[in-house]
Amino acid sequence: MLRLLLKLLSFVTGQRLLTPEQAASQQLELNDLRSKQAALESLSSKLRSEMKRQQALAHEQLKETKSSHEQILSARQSEIDSLKESLGQLNQSVDIETQRQLKENNDLLSQLNWLSGTIAHDFRAPLRAIDAYSFFLADDLGENAPPEASQSLEEIRRNGKRMGVLL
């Protein structure tokens, strides 16, 4: 009968009316949902605070890593600068040594040219003398010279001229 009365009132008011058992059951479900919602809010709050803590920790680690890398980079840059300076000094000393060796080689080349000129001149004088004596000997012997002697004198003169050209 209570049910019938509730249905009639629901129809007249346009609202759904519940029986006390249904209302108690829905109240229990509502209380259960509220306790679950509170637990979820608590868990959500804990997760947010943990995320903030993890972010702060990660940020701190990033700063430390950045600082460490900057120190390493600075040390390496100093090392590079030092090596560049050493390279510049080495290049300068190589240039100085190269110029010294070039001057020394030019001096030696000049001396060698002078020596070869002197040697060539000193060798030409005796060759001219040998050529001249063989010419005079051939002239003195004239037509009466034995053929072997004329050939030998001609060979001496030809070889002397060839050596003069080589010098």
Residue 16 lies in a domain: no
Query: How far apart are the C-alpha atoms of 130 and 124, rounded to whole Å?
Result: 10
Q: How many domains does the chain have?
A: 1
Percent of the chain with pLDDT over 90: 51
Residue 148 lies in a domain: yes
Does the pLDDT of residue 8 top 80, yes or no?
A: no
Q: What is the pLDDT of residues 61-118, one digit of tens each?
A: 999 999 999 999 999 999 999 999 999 999 999 999 999 999 999 999 999 998 888 8
Give the per-residue pLDDT at 47.
96
Which residues form the domain of 118?
21-166
Residue 7 lies in a domain: no
Query: How far apart are the C-alpha atoms of 54 and 46, rounded to whole Å?
Result: 12
Q: What is the pLDDT of residues 26-64, one digit of tens each?
A: 899 999 999 999 999 999 999 999 999 999 999 999 999
Beta-carbon contacts of residue 30 (< 8 Å; ≥ 6 apart): none
Structure-block tokens of residue 54? 């993890």
Residue 12 lies in a domain: no
Residue 1 lies in a domain: no
Residue 11 lies in a domain: no
Residue 70 lies in a domain: yes
Q: Are 158 and 150 in contact (CB under 8 A)?
A: no
Full-model pTM = 0.43
Give the per-residue pLDDT at 10.
67
Calculate the dihedral angle through the C-alpha atoms of 37, 42, 48, 51, rounding to the nearest 10 degrees: -120
Residue 94 lies in a domain: yes
Give mean pLDDT, residues 13-21: 73
